[in-house]
Amino acid sequence: MLGFPIALWLFTLAPSEAPELEPAGGEADAAADAATEAQRDEQAALDRFAGKYRYVGGTKQHDRLRRAIDVAIEPMLDIIEGLARRKLNANLSPAGHYDFVVDGDDIRIDDRTGHPMAGRADGTRFQWKGDDGKHRASRIRFARGAVRVRVVGPHSSTRIVYRLDAAGKRLTRTTTIVDDRMPRPLTYKFSYRRIAE
């Protein structure tokens, strides 16, 4: 409570001298506006991914994948190493195309092989049916300007990060696989270019 001399001083000030009081909730409104603007910016950044992309990495990225596989499985016994190399080379070939559909927080990633991945970009977990027909715990999250996918199977964990260049024309897919049957993690990149709808 104001003391009597201070209260008297406030009441005797001329209108132009009276201290200006901030409207109630001004800071809260500003914070809410900033949060809304940040959400709009985040949504706009996610919306940029919507579109169709074609693989443009060529044989160079195929060769890099083969070298990455060799490094990941090198410590394995020769006979197992050969089997692992053949299986990984067959399963990890780049998809020829990717289609991204964005609808608010919902995102669908389709490599046109009949097993699209669809979920919410907030990291909500869901079950994804892979190429082998098995369901795996998965999630899609948009963070720091990239679409981040996590797929967890009985023996492995796969992380995929999709990034767009500043022009929104080039899509890079970086994959890291950690598998308890492989001595080392396997990391590789594939490049895609946006094509007309």
Give residue-wise pLDDT tens across range 35-83. Answer: 677 778 899 999 999 999 999 999 999 899 989 988 888 877 665 777 7
Give domain status of residue 129, yes or no: yes
Q: Number of folded domains in the chain?
A: 1
Give domain status of residue 12, yes or no: no
Rounded CA gap, 28 and 3, in Å? 29
Confidence band, pLDDT 50/70/90 cuts, at residue 25: low
* Mean pLDDT (the chain, rounded): 83
pLDDT per position as a tens digit, 157-186: 999 999 999 999 999 999 999 988 888 899
User: What single-letter amino acid sits at 79?
Assistant: I
pTM for this prediction: 0.78
Q: Which of 86, 114, 98, 105 is nearest to 160 (CA)?
A: 98
User: What DSSP assignment string belongs to 81-115?
Assistant: HHHHHHHHHHH-PPPSEEEEEEETTEEEEE-SSS-
Considering the chain, what percentage of its residues have pLDDT values greater than 70? 79
Give domain status of residue 79, yes or no: yes
Confidence band, pLDDT 50/70/90 cuts, at residue 9: very low
User: What single-letter amino acid sits at 142?
Assistant: F
User: What single-letter amino acid sits at 181?
Assistant: R
Q: Which of 109, 102, 110, 105 is nearest to 124 (CA)?
A: 105
Is 60 exceeded by the pLDDT of residue 101? yes
Rounded CA gap, 49 and 163, in Å? 9
Give domain status of residue 105, yes or no: yes
| Range of the structural domain that residue 48 is part of | 44-195
Confidence band, pLDDT 50/70/90 cuts, at residue 14: very low
Give domain status of residue 88, yes or no: yes
Cβ neighbors of 59 (< 8 A, separation 6 or more) are none
Give domain status of residue 49, yes or no: yes
CATH value at residue 150: 2.40.128.20
Is 50 exceeded by the pLDDT of residue 6? no
Cβ neighbors of 86 (< 8 A, separation 6 or more) are none
Rounded CA gap, 51 and 135, in Å? 26
Q: Read off the pLDDT of each residue in 77-93 and give the average, rounded to a whole number.
A: 72
Give domain status of residue 28, yes or no: no
Give domain status of residue 19, yes or no: no
Rounded CA gap, 112 and 118, in Å? 13
